[in-house]
Amino acid sequence: MQLSQGLRITLLAVLGGLIFAVLFSWAAIMGLRGQGGAVGQVALTVSMFPELVQRAGLEAHARISGEDDYLYVSVPRAREDMTGFAPLPSEAGETLDRFVFSGEAAAADRGWRLFAGAFAMSDGVVNGAVLVDPDFTIRRIWRLSEAALGEGVQEDNRTVVHGLQMAPNGDLLVLFDSGMSLQRVDACGGTVWIDRGRYHHTVSEVQDDGTIWALRYFVDDPADYEPTAEAFVQLDSETGAILREITVAEIAEANPYLALFHTQARDMAIDGSNAMAFEANWETDPFHFNDVEPLPASIADAFPGFEAGDLLVSARTLNTVFVLDPDTLEVKWHLTAATHRQHDPDWQADGTITIYDNRMGRGPSRIVSVDPATGALATLVDGAAQDFYSRVRGRQQITPRGDIAVVSPMQARAFEISDGARSLEFYNLGPEESDRNLVLTEFLFIPEAQFDLEDSSCDSR
């Protein structure tokens, strides 16, 4: 049977289209892997066109609606009925009418509460921190930014506080999502010190020796990112001076038979050479470290096999929490696949480790505890029972009385669990004209006796 010329042209066109689709897909994949040169990058960009159009649409809507100033620090408004919630009274010189509270204050552990995120203030949406006293009155508000760094930093409305601690004298240790610094600010928001660098996610409590630990990428330009150059950094909390740096490359070298740190690397030695050298392309964001906390000497006896100062680390991409000896770089223990995209593992006085298990895309989040000696895992906060889910970010804390303080950033929400029931709840609402809420990234409980507002002033140093 002889095909007509029109049919032959149609078949050739279909065949050509299929070949083009295969070649285009292959080029896009090569671009995603960082290969294929300019052709691969063009194909990757074109393949992302629908996502780029959607993003442009969101940008355009934000500009037209006036929400552009806080689009990147806002989250969906999941709850509309705020019956029973009211603003906290304020003695900080400014009221926060959109930061609201509900609950039985008398049922909660007595202490100070420190929040951070983006807040609707009198002059618009502002990155900041809010200190609430044991009687649930706002006593201090900090406006936080990286403006003092000058050029090369994100605009304030394109970043948000993500990493917060309070020093013993009431100063704050602060860093930002997409930021370029770790900084210490005093009680009135004045700069004590700034270390410029790509710090991210977290800063530890000030230790007995006056040091802190943080996470840092040692490149200024994200295009120069090298996964194994990610580092755990120890600093002097008084001066900001870097005392020690530990890179992933050093940890991997010190643990040659632990394959954990190469699970996100694709072997590229495909030429049959049986090469001994490691040649690989890394997946995007292969570790996503989001916490590092040293074991306090005061509770080290509760953790056989660990020593005071050992580092508790969370690697989100690896679904892994591990303990690292900062001197020998030995990975002493790790827990993999028991949590999913987790954050904020904490040492506890009873010898357990508590973890914020985000469970990204797998149902409600939860707070769990694990006994590193036995591997026994227990759920402390059931997300289904508390309507609790934060796809990213998050912090949890056990108060001295045993209550559980939780912040759910993607719900603009914080809450406390006392005797198994929710005793307190906070929401960070967006401006009245918005249909979105403002992200609440940090929530710290500070025991009442640990902090004295009168001793915490701009002149207290």
Tens digit of each residue's pLDDT, the chain (461 residues): 566 666 666 666 667 666 765 565 555 555 544 555 555 555 545 554 565 555 555 555 555 555 566 778 999 998 889 999 999 999 999 999 999 999 998 889 999 999 999 999 999 999 999 999 999 999 999 999 999 898 878 888 789 999 999 999 999 999 999 899 999 999 989 999 999 999 999 999 999 999 999 999 987 676 777 888 899 999 999 999 999 999 999 999 999 999 999 899 887 665 667 777 777 788 889 999 999 999 999 999 999 999 999 999 999 999 999 999 999 999 999 999 999 999 999 999 999 999 999 999 999 999 999 999 999 999 999 999 999 999 999 999 999 999 999 999 999 999 999 999 999 999 999 998 888 999 999 999 999 999 998 888 665 55
HEC string of 36-66? CHHHHHHHHHHHCHHHHHHHHHHHHHHHHHC
Residue 45 CA: distances (Å) to CA of 26, 37, 41, 49, 175 = 13, 13, 6, 7, 32
| Phi and psi torsions of 175, nearest 5° | -145, 175
Q: Token pair of 284, please?
A: 């995007």
pLDDT for 71 equals 79
Other beta carbons within 10 angstroms of residue 226's beta carbon come to: 13
What global pTM score does this model have? 0.85
**70, 125 in Cβ contact below 8 A?**
yes
Burial classification of residue 4, based on how many CB atoms lie within 10 Å of its CB (0-12 exposed, 13-18 middle, 19 or more buried)? exposed
**Strands (E) located in 144-230:** 161-166, 172-176, 181-185, 191-196, 198-203, 211-217
Structural contact between residues 128 and 161, judged by C-beta atoms closer than 8 angstroms: yes
Please tell me the distance from the alpha carbon of residue 61 to that of residue 64, in angstroms, as a whole number. 5
Secondary structure class of 15 (helix, strand, coil):
helix
Q: Specify the amino acid at residue 270.
A: I
- The Cα–Cα gap between 294 and 205 comes to 9
- Predicted confidence at residue 45, as pLDDT, reads 53
Secondary-structure breakdown of the chain: helix, strand, coil percentages, each rounded to the nearest 5: 25, 35, 40
H helices, E strands: number in the chain: 5, 30
- SS3 (DSSP) at 385: helix
For residue 189, the one-letter residue type is G
E-strand stretches of 320-439:
320-324, 331-336, 343-347, 353-357, 366-370, 377-382, 395-398, 404-408, 413-418, 421-428, 436-438
Residue 48 has what pLDDT? Answer: 47
Q: Residue 388 has which token pair?
A: 């609790």
Sheet holding 366-370, edge to edge: 343-347, 353-357, 366-370, 377-382
Task: Give the integer Cα–Cα distance in Å for 247 and 229.
Answer: 5
pLDDT confidence of residue 340: 98
The span from the CA of 121 to the CA of 5, in Å, is: 72
For residue 333, CA distances in Å to 149, 178, 324, 358, 374 come to 39, 31, 8, 21, 11
Alpha helices (runs of H) in 183-309, residue ranges in sequence order: 248-254
pLDDT of residue 252: 94
**Residue holding tokens 């227990």?**
378
Beta strands in 12-123 (DSSP E): 74-76, 86-87, 99-103, 111-121
The predicted pLDDT at position 7 comes to 67
Element (H, E) at 132: strand 124-132
